[in-house]
Structure 1
Amino acid sequence: MDARCGGTSEAKDADEEVQKICDEVKSHAEDKAGRKFDVFTAKSYKTQVVAGRNYFIKVHVGEDDYIHLRVFKPLPCAGEKLELHGIQTSKAHHDAIEYF
């Protein structure tokens, strides 16, 4: 699917930028999940171009446990911070990242 048409990109391996996004929203994810994560390592992600960019990120949170995050990153001119728009818990390594 073409990300420029509002769909999500193909899944890519997480990089340093995506890990920084995860680090910034970790406390919000913990609040939404109602638990603390000892491990919080971004593994892969998809993006969606909107008025800014949505990141759909698979995050390893320890043992065989994963969560999926939807994080909105506004355009630089908006000057706003990252927003955690959604979280899916109880995911596995093999679960595909889907739009949510």
Structure 2
Amino acid sequence: MSCKGTMAGGASETKPATAEIQAIADQVKCQLEEKENKKYTMFKAVEYQSQVVAGTNYFIKVQVGNNDFVHLRVYESLPHENKPLALHSYQTNKTRHDKLEYF
């Protein structure tokens, strides 16, 4: 018997960002601004991957300038834990063509 689909714990394929993903990025924007000590006037999610763990990791590519992008790793805990979204890590100085990967 063969199993099809994504293995548990593996990241999904990269997909275009949705309104829900933009909302997740918006919720962690101030966390990133604090860590980087800068304000982003542009903050547009363009694509993402998700990974189901005990909760969900979102890997989101966000456009912050003409050809300036950041990659965010956002953790969403399980609903019953009632915790806010957390910016776990991020990568700056990315371009539109940089592949979104697990980090």
TM-score by length of 1: 0.95
Contact 1:44 1:59 in 2 (8 A): yes
Please say which of residues 34-43 and 82-91 is displaced more in the overlay.
34-43
- After TM superposition, give the deviation of residue 31 of structure 1 in Å: 1.4
Contact 1:70 1:85 in 2 (8 A): yes
State the Cα deviation string for residues 62-84 of structure 1 (Å, max 9, x = none). Answer: 11100000000011111111000
- Provide the aligned length of Structure 1 versus Structure 2: 99
Rg (Cα) greater in structure: 2
**Runs of 5+ unmatched residues, structure 1:** none
State the Cα deviation string for residues 30-77 of structure 1 (Å, max 9, x = none). Answer: 112222111000000000000100000000001110000000001111
Partner of 1:85: 88
Pick aligned residue for 1:65 from 62, 65, 68: 68
Amino acid in the other structure paired with 2:75: F
Partner of 1:14: 17
- After TM superposition, give the deviation of residue 15 of structure 1 in Å: 0.3
CA distance in 2, matches of 1:26, 1:78: 22
Amino acid in the other structure paired with 1:53: T
> Which 4+ runs in 1 deviate beyond 4 A?
none
1:9-48 alignment, distance < 5 Å: 9-48=12-51
CA distance in 2, matches of 1:66, 1:41: 9
Contact 1:32 1:87 in 2 (8 A): no
Partner of 1:76: 79
Partner of 1:52: 55
